Amino acid sequence: MGEPLRIGMVGAGTISGAYLETLARLRNVALTAVTDLDPGRAASVAARVPGAVAVGSVAELVARNDVDAVLNLTVPAAHAEVALAALAAGKHVYGEKPFTTTREEADALLAAASGGGGGGLRLGCAPDTVLGTGVQTARKAVDDGLIGVPVAATAFMTTAGHERWHPAPEFYYRPGGGPLLDMGPYYLSALVHLLGPVTEVTGAASRPRAEREIGGGPRAGERFGVEVDTHVSGVLRHAGGALTTLLMSFDVHAARLPRIEVHGTGGSLSVPDPNHFEGPVEFHGPEGGWEPLPVSAGYPGAGRGTGLADLATALAEGRPHRASAEVARHVLDVMLTLLDAAREGRALPVASGCERPEPVALA
């Protein structure tokens, strides 16, 4: 194995802890620098990672010679700005979802990556949960024809809202947030892996509450305004003809809905929570009951940052990386088109497309 890809991390907030846990056990990436709007948080992270240093700004971080790629863990509204700065400095970029908050920003990032670094720069985006053994085992079952021809799928994410647990939840309820842009990337990325790209959507959305209240922490009881729809439902038509029924909500206190199911002419699959890397995959044929399938594909023991490690390996091997900007751009387009369809009250075509990423063979 060659030298690890040297990573500069922008953003040391809540999600960074999960990445740091994974990066610590990956051999092909190494955290060398970190910056955050709160210098104390950056210093705290750097103190925990041997060889890492805290720097004062994004500009300083992307200019460093010991940073090959930038891990962008900022809030959604800052994703494009940080990624463009990194690409302009000749750095590869892997970012948290959503890819950006607008199609125009997404296209600008793809253009900057394709023209950068001489032969182009790598641009990747979460979620990488689709690379774990859960979704990948389900995908192998679909690809192997276990359920016959895919006909339909369901995808449900319901919660009463992130303000119940997050100490600073406002960004979930501002442009770039909401249940669809926050959690939809997990479900839609999984559906693209399972069934391919989406060609048409129709939907409806609502915003039942104008304000939310922080449930815990030092700001418990504070109220803030809601600027986005918090309950979104839709129907998606995939390129292969399958129809997905989708529900994403911050307004449901309890439900007994499956996360993802895929139904075909020869049977049905129960797919685990796409917000996690692992979980049971179950098959139900024309007769009998639900039966668990053995783990047959995916990165075992994966965690947040596995997509960055896959990018590093792909860069060394000269192959496409799986948690790609192209998939993320398509998923963003699907979500924005669904919100457009909800506002207009009609079905709309999805202008973009993407290739299904290569499956992950079981290591």
Q: Quick one: how far is CA 131 from the chain centroid?
A: 11
Is it the case that residue 233 has pLDDT exceeding 60?
Answer: yes
pLDDT on residue 119 = 58
**10, 72 in Cβ contact below 8 A?**
yes
Query: pLDDT band for position 35 (50/70/90)?
Result: very high
What is the rounded average pLDDT of the residues 44-69? 97
**299, 131 in Cβ contact below 8 A?**
yes
Bridge partners of residue 171, in order along the sequence: none
Is it the case that residue 327 has pLDDT exceeding 80?
Answer: yes
pLDDT on residue 153 = 98
In the chain, which segments carry CATH 3.30.360.10? 130-297+329-349
The CA distance from 86 to 96, in Å, is 14
pLDDT on residue 209 = 96
The CA distance from 317 to 146, in Å, is 32
Instruction: Give 347's Cβ-side CA count (13 Å radius).
Output: 8
| Tens of pLDDT, residues 112-127 | 999 855 458 999 999 9
The CA distance from 117 to 246, in Å, is 39
Considering the chain, what is the average pLDDT of its residues? 96
| Tens of pLDDT, residues 178-201 | 999 999 999 999 999 999 999 999
pLDDT on residue 28 = 96
What is the rounded average pLDDT of the residues 289-315? 97
5-125 maps to CATH 3.40.50.720: yes
Tokens 């979980």 locate to: 279
In the chain, which segments carry CATH 3.40.50.720? 5-125
What is the rounded average pLDDT of the residues 128-148? 98
pLDDT on residue 25 = 93
Instruction: Concatenate the DSSP letters of all residues of 328-339 into one string.
Output: HHHHHHHHHHHH
- Angle in degrees, CA 178, 181, 84, rounded to 5: 120
Is it the case that residue 309 has pLDDT exceeding 80?
Answer: yes
Is it the case that residue 60 has pLDDT exceeding 80?
Answer: yes
For the chain, the residue count is: 363
pLDDT on residue 337 = 98
pLDDT on residue 9 = 98
pLDDT on residue 363 = 78
What Å distances lie between residue 127 and 306, 307, 316, CA to CA? 10, 8, 21
Instruction: Concatenate the DSSP letters of all residues of 188-234 into one string.
Output: HHHHHHHH--EEEEEEEEE---SEEE--SSTTTT-EEE--S-SEEEE
> Can you tell me whether residue 283 is helix, strand or coil?
strand
Helices (H), the chain: 16-23, 39-48, 58-62, 79-88, 103-114, 133-143, 178-195, 306-317, 325-344
At 291, give phi and psi (nearest 5°): -130, 135
Name the fold adopted by 130-297+329-349: Dihydrodipicolinate Reductase; domain 2 (3.30.360)
**223, 213 in Cβ contact below 8 A?**
yes
**69, 15 in Cβ contact below 8 A?**
no
Terminal-to-terminal C-alpha distance of the chain: 16
In terms of Cβ atoms closer than 10 Å to its own Cβ (0-12, 13-18, 19+), residue 181 is: buried
The CA distance from 282 to 118, in Å, is 46
Tokens 């690409």 locate to: 87
pLDDT on residue 1 = 55
- Angle in degrees, CA 172, 173, 177, rounded to 5: 55
Quick one: what percent of the chain has pLDDT higher than 70?
A: 99
